[in-house]
Amino acid sequence: MAISKGDKLPDVQLVKATAEGPDKVSSGEFFKGRKVALFAVPGAFTPTCSAKHLPGYVEKAADLKAKGVDEIACTSVNDAFVMNAWKESSNADDITMLADGSGEFAKAVGLDADFSAYGMGTRSNRYSMIVDDGVVTELNVEDPGEYNVSSADHMLGQL
């Protein structure tokens, strides 16, 4: 069952992608005590994710922070090295990359998806959420193949 508005995020291990290498972080600690704009993509360097999703958050980072967001984070079922390379190649300095290499976070929130037909295995659905002190206050899950409600512009309208 997928997570819903009003639910507390489960506490699972993610890996924060940094220039110095992987840094393990619990989702409970990461989201504690602040407002985070989180968006999830099926894969780093994939077409829609690289052409629209990440660039939208890069472009709107200052606007999101002006509306009270403390941090903007992106998660994907990729390893920390891939997530950091994607961040660097996209000039996404204002985005914290959270690697979900084994898909544990995607599964824990019930937003994992089977992309085996595309040779990608189990990944994350495309979605965005606003998380305030670990609690989901807004949740926007895309229909398969779509990119609308998980955009930075849509999230700005929710803040």
- Residue 129 maps to which CATH number? 3.40.30.10
Count of domains for the chain: 1
For range 102-122, the mean pLDDT: 83
pLDDT recorded at residue 41:
94
Alpha-carbon distance of 156 to 147, in angstroms, equals 15
pLDDT top residue among 20 and 116 = 20
Q: Kindly report the three-state secondary structure assignment for every residue of the chain.
A: CCCCCCCECCCCEEEEEECCEEEEEEHHHHHCCCEEEEEEECCCCCHHHHHHHHHHHHHHHHHHHHCCCCEEEEEECCCHHHHHHHHHHCCCCCEEEEECCCCHHHHHCCCEEECHHHCCCEEECCEEEEEECCEEEEEEECCCCCCCCCCHHHHHHHC
pLDDT recorded at residue 119:
67
At 57, phi and psi to the nearest 5?
Answer: -75, -35
Active site residue 74: no
Amino acid symbol at 7: D
Model confidence at 20, in pLDDT bands (50, 70, 90)? confident
pTM value is 0.93
Confirm whether 2 is domain-assigned. Answer: no
Confirm whether 82 is domain-assigned. Answer: yes
Confirm whether 3 is domain-assigned. Answer: no
Confirm whether 50 is domain-assigned. Answer: yes
Confirm whether 4 is domain-assigned. Answer: no
Confirm whether 137 is domain-assigned. Answer: yes
pLDDT at 13 over 90: yes
pLDDT recorded at residue 30:
97
Question: What share of the chain in percent tops pLDDT 90?
Answer: 74
Contact call for residues 30 and 98 (beta carbons, < 8 A): yes
Residue of 40, 41, 49, 149 with catalytic role: 49
Q: Nearest to residue 23, comparing CAs of 74, 96, 77?
A: 96
Q: Nearest to residue 89, comparing CAs of 125, 55, 39?
A: 55
For range 32-54, the mean pLDDT: 87
Confirm whether 25 is domain-assigned. Answer: yes
At 86, phi and psi to the nearest 5?
Answer: -65, -45
Confirm whether 37 is domain-assigned. Answer: yes
| Cβ neighbour number for residue 23 with a 10 Å cutoff | 12
Q: Which residue segment(s) compose the domain that 40 sits in? A: 13-158
pLDDT at 130 over 80: yes
